[in-house]
Amino acid sequence: MKHITTIDDLRDVHKRNTPKAFFDYVDRGSYAEETLAANRNDMKAIKFRQRILVDISSRDLSTTIIGEKSTLPIVLAPVGSTGMQFGDGEILACRAAQAEGIPYTLSTMSICSIEDVAENVEKPFWFQLYVMKDRGFAKALIERAIAAKCSALVLTVDLQVIGQRHADIKNGLSVPPKLLSLKNVADIATKPRWVSGILRGKRRNFGNIAGHLPGSGSLGSVSAWVASQFDPSLSWKDLEWIRGVWPGKLIIKGILDIADAKEAVACGAQAMVVSNHGGRQLDGAPSSIAVLPEIADAVGDQIEIMFDGGIRSGQDVMRALALGAKSCMIGRAYIHGLGAFGEPGVRKAIDIIRQELSVTMGLCGVAKIADIDKRVIATPGQSAA
């Protein structure tokens, strides 16, 4: 992997290795993809203040995230169908994260189940929950996460209705799936290493749902059930029920508004994630980085703030930390590594971000994560004293 120097390099290999339907599932956004583009464009518009002749010989990138020690201020975000990017993808990504000393979050919509991952890794991981209409199933998921000793529950709250992703429909990732079109079969036939890896994997269906539904062996039947289960009636009142079942640390993911941020504080969550679901839900919503400062100013002294949306480099992590986040979730960045090279690719993605963050801190005159704040950001047309 000597030729790999950026997340974009990993993306290029991922795109070559993986069938278009599954690559696009991760890479694309909803509707016109305005918010997907804004996540990146607004991030890149933020410039740094270069500082010189500061002793940055002993830079420390370690931190704590909801009380857990982490070698970096990043978390691997929950990504659905990770095991269709690379066989046993969730297990491999979790192993990579733990080897690098950072948290990993397993999605409700994972291919490998909670138990599959727990049996194949050494330490606790986080679990991300979608609260379905079938509350019995949601309760069972939480109980399975407790049994697996998951150390945090990440409640995703911005998927009560699903934003249409045009690429998925065109690629056959519809309900029911239409992956056996001539175009898809021809594409898959050109990816023998991907096919071999998927066939060696434990599962090719949603592992957390398999067994819950009678006759859930088919991807089509499971997909149809899932699509019918996202609950538009979900409200803040349901947080009380979740708190009654889950005894541990709670993180609410999908906050873009100050009023909602204050509700998250009131419900007793340990952390919130400022996120627009990676530009995959409400198209036309602001970028996550655009709303981060006002949310951090409003509630940052009352709750731990995490960030998600557009992180592709260590510089992006620095930008989010400077504007009020304590840590960042990365999704596409590590999935590109997974799709490119499996577990070593995930570790490569993490290392790329680590090295970039370390250099950026040094050139901004910062030696510790805790010292990153708005002072590292350049104000256009003005030099701060």
Q: Which domains does the chain have, with CATH numbers?
A: 7-376 (3.20.20.70)
Model pLDDT for residues 264-285, shown as the tens digit of each residue: 999 999 999 999 999 999 999 9
Angle, CA 25 vertex, CA 29 and CA 16 arms, to 5°? 115
DSSP 123: S
Please give the Cα distance from 293 to 4 (Å, whole number): 33
Q: Name which of 36, 2, 32 is nearest 332 in CA terms.
A: 36
Report in angstroms the alpha-carbon separations of 353 from 14, 260, 329.
17, 30, 12
Angle, CA 293 vertex, CA 292 and CA 294 arms, to 5°? 95
Please give the Cα distance from 366 to 373 (Å, whole number): 10
Q: Coil, strand, or helix at residue 93?
A: helix
Which residues have a catalytic role annotated?
277
DSSP 172: T
pLDDT of the residue at 215: 60
* Residue 252 near residue 275, CB atoms below 8 Å: no
Please give the Cα distance from 345 to 304 (Å, whole number): 30
Q: What is the CA radius of gyration of the chain?
A: 20
**Which single residue is written with the structure tokens 């993306």?**
11
Residue 180 Cα to chain centre, angstroms: 28
pTM for the whole thing?
0.95
DSSP 35: H
Please give the Cα distance from 14 to 12 (Å, whole number): 5
pLDDT of the residue at 160: 87
DSSP 382: B
Q: Which two tokens stand for residue 193?
A: 């290493």
Phi-psi region of 203 (alpha: psi -120 to 50; beta: other; left: phi over 0): beta
Q: Which two tokens stand for residue 10?
A: 């990993």
pLDDT of the residue at 224: 79
Please give the Cα distance from 142 to 153 (Å, whole number): 8
* Residue 210 near residue 113, CB atoms below 8 Å: yes
**DSSP labels for 207-252?**
TTTBTTBTTTTSHHHHHHHHHHHB-TT--TTHHHHHHHH--SEEEE
Report in angstroms the alpha-carbon separations of 163 from 239, 276, 279, 285.
23, 11, 9, 12
DSSP bridge pairs for 328:
74, 307
Residue 274 Cα to chain centre, angstroms: 12
pLDDT of the residue at 313: 98
Supply the mean pLDDT for the chain: 94
pLDDT of the residue at 254: 98
Element (H, E) at 254: strand 249-255
Angle, CA 181 vertex, CA 178 and CA 186 arms, to 5°? 135
Low-confidence ranges of the chain (pLDDT < 50): 385
Model pLDDT for residues 169-215, shown as the tens digit of each residue: 999 987 667 787 889 999 999 999 999 999 999 998 899 998 777 66
